[in-house]
Amino acid sequence: MRRSAVGDDRNGHVRHERERTLLYQVVEAELPAFLARHRDRPVPHFAAEELRAFLRCGVLAHGFLRLRCDDCKLERLVAFSCKRRGFCPSCGGRRMADTAAHLVDRVWPHVPVRQWVLTLPYPLRYRCAYDPKLASEVLRAFLRALFSELRRRIRREDGIRADQCGAVTFLQRFGSAMNLNLHFHTLAIDGAFVYEADAAGSKSRPEFIALNKPSPDEVARVLAGTARRITRLLERRLATDEEDDLARNEPLLARLAQASIHTRIATGPETGERWQRLGDRVEPDATDAMSGQDDALVARHHEMSLHAGVAVPANDRNRLERLCRYVARPPLAHDRLQALPDGRLALRLKTRWRDGTTHILMERRDLIDRLVPLIPQPRAHQVRYHGILAPAASLRSRVVPAEPNVAEDLARSQDESLAGDRVDVNPAPPRRRRLLWAQLLQRVFAIDALRCPRCTNSLRLIAAIEDEAVARRILDSIGLPARAPPDLLLPEPSPHHTEIDAAHDPEFEFDQSSPYED
């Protein structure tokens, strides 16, 4: 059964109607023209399917769940979600809350955690955005430098040899301006574990060694080690791969990605021009003073930067969950996109830029051009686990929080054994389940979506309506809108779509400088 989005009922509950949001309306209106403009060089299938799935997300006419209260007969309809990983604010918010809850409840030990943010040069952002193998190798180079520095500091401060570091990394593809900016948010254990087996070989719980706040020189040393490893990595890859495979196989996607990285307009009469901005121009020094940011733990090396100023103390689980939500957030929220009186769109930045920019302006036709580069490729993981927190790490089960159901299952097995029932002496570990959407709403917003608003009893699932014709008949019968957006047909890919036609491909170049600031 498919997961479901936030619900609706016909007896007073107000449903969040995504089809009335500005983002939904613009994508619905501009997607047919976008696909028609690029019929010769079509959009990649995964990106086109993401856009079409977004138009079905949360729309009751495409199917829903029926929940009913057995006492007062109140019914609630819960629309299906698209469950995509690109730009959908609803599904991205659900994944954000779910991932943060999973990490805090089942992954992170009760130890201090520090966030390390690695920003890559523009050419490397472009290559890593659509080369998962290269992105993994770059991330591995950074973590090797980081873990080496953590071990060195423990040897220097405590005289102990520790080799059990751990980290969880989020590959963020976006910046605050909704531009393609692949960078790494690494939440690393601020210390390391020491594990020693006794003479009999029995296993004991690893001992944690905490570290103090790193110095600016130590942060710079991590970045310098990362730069050396990445340089050697690129030298090896350039010796065997000198072509831009993305531009050869997917010319349209490569064009949109390059434009997004350099904050340039990708198509239309203003192709190649910088994105329009809105805001009061201020002096850089005054902006820095207003921001209140501490740049003490920021290192820069050529076009790379490393931030390490955010840390969470041990046992502060609420703050840790907020940090996990921040690094797992979706690229766009509905309230950040606004419509201007002249018809253009304004994207409000998360924080003011150093030059005073507060909004990015765009034409409606340009919105999809900026959404497509934010969609990750299929089967490319956006969350990576390393060190002692890796899924196959031998010591992982000894440091992560215990499963809440293990003790209950063990007690139930003992009761069944005493009752004479046949039980497995080595029961399989309980299957881990992510939180349901209703549980996430309760956890994040303190909203009980399965509680009847009339009699406070629990709602019961009575049917899953997946046939659209049946769904529309039900909606018509109870007086709810049965409208659904038109089924957008994808253009058939041309057998020669990888060839670039010079007559339809004007020269499109970018300078290497960009005013973008994350």
Residue 439: predicted pLDDT: 83
Burial class (CB in 10 A: 0-12, 13-18, 19+), 328: buried
Instruction: Give the closest residue to 194 by CA, choosing from 398, 377, 474.
Output: 398
Instruction: Give the closest residue to 178 by CA, choosing from 323, 20, 43, 372.
Output: 372
* 288 three-class SS: helix
Residue 11: predicted pLDDT: 40
* 21 three-class SS: coil
What is the pTM (predicted TM-score) of this model? 0.83
Q: For residues 173 and 257, is the Cβ–Cβ distance under 8 A? A: no
12 phi, psi to nearest 5 deg: 120, -25
Burial class (CB in 10 A: 0-12, 13-18, 19+), 395: middle
Distance, in Å, from the CA atom of 56 to the CA atom of 19, rounded to the nearest integer, reads: 9
Cα–Cα distances in angstroms (integers) from residue 338 to residues 44, 270, 370, 485, in the given order: 28, 22, 15, 22
Distance, in Å, from the CA atom of 114 to the CA atom of 167, rounded to the nearest integer, reads: 9
Tens-binned pLDDT, residue by residue, of the chain (518 aa): 444 444 444 444 456 678 889 999 999 999 999 999 988 888 899 999 999 999 999 889 889 999 999 888 888 888 898 999 999 999 999 999 999 999 999 999 999 999 999 999 999 999 999 999 999 999 999 999 999 999 999 988 877 887 789 999 999 999 999 999 999 999 999 999 988 765 555 556 788 999 999 999 999 999 999 999 999 999 888 766 656 788 888 999 999 999 999 999 999 889 999 999 988 766 555 444 333 345 679 999 988 999 999 999 999 999 999 999 999 999 999 999 999 999 999 999 988 988 889 999 999 999 999 999 999 999 899 999 999 999 999 889 889 987 655 445 444 444 444 344 443 444 444 555 678 878 888 888 778 888 888 888 888 989 999 998 899 898 888 887 766 655 444 444 443 333 323 333 333 333 333 333 33
DSSP string for 1-18: ---EEEEEETTSPPP--G
Instruction: For residue 140, give every residue at least 6 positions away whose Cβ sits within 8 Å of its Cβ, in sequence order, or none.
Output: none
DSSP state of 307: E
Distance, in Å, from the CA atom of 328 to the CA atom of 93, rounded to the nearest integer, reads: 9
3-state secondary structure 425-465: CCCCCCCCCCCCHHHHHHHHHCCCCCECCCCCCECEEEEEE
Strand partners, 345: 339, 362
State the first-to-last Cα distance of the chain, in angstroms, to the nearest integer. 39
DSSP string for 100-137: HHHHHHHT--SS-EEEEEEE--HHHHHHHHT-HHHHHH
DSSP string for 48-68: HHHHHHHHHTT-GGG-EEEEE
Residue 222: predicted pLDDT: 97
Residue 258: predicted pLDDT: 94
What are the b/e assignments for 455-480, b being 16+ CB within 10 Å? Answer: eeeebeeeeebeebeebbebbeeeeb
CA 27 to chain centre: 21
- Token couple for 237: 């890859």
Q: For residues 304 and 121, is the Cβ–Cβ distance under 8 A? A: yes
Residue 368: predicted pLDDT: 96
Instruction: Give the closest residue to 365 by CA, choosing from 91, 8, 32.
Output: 32
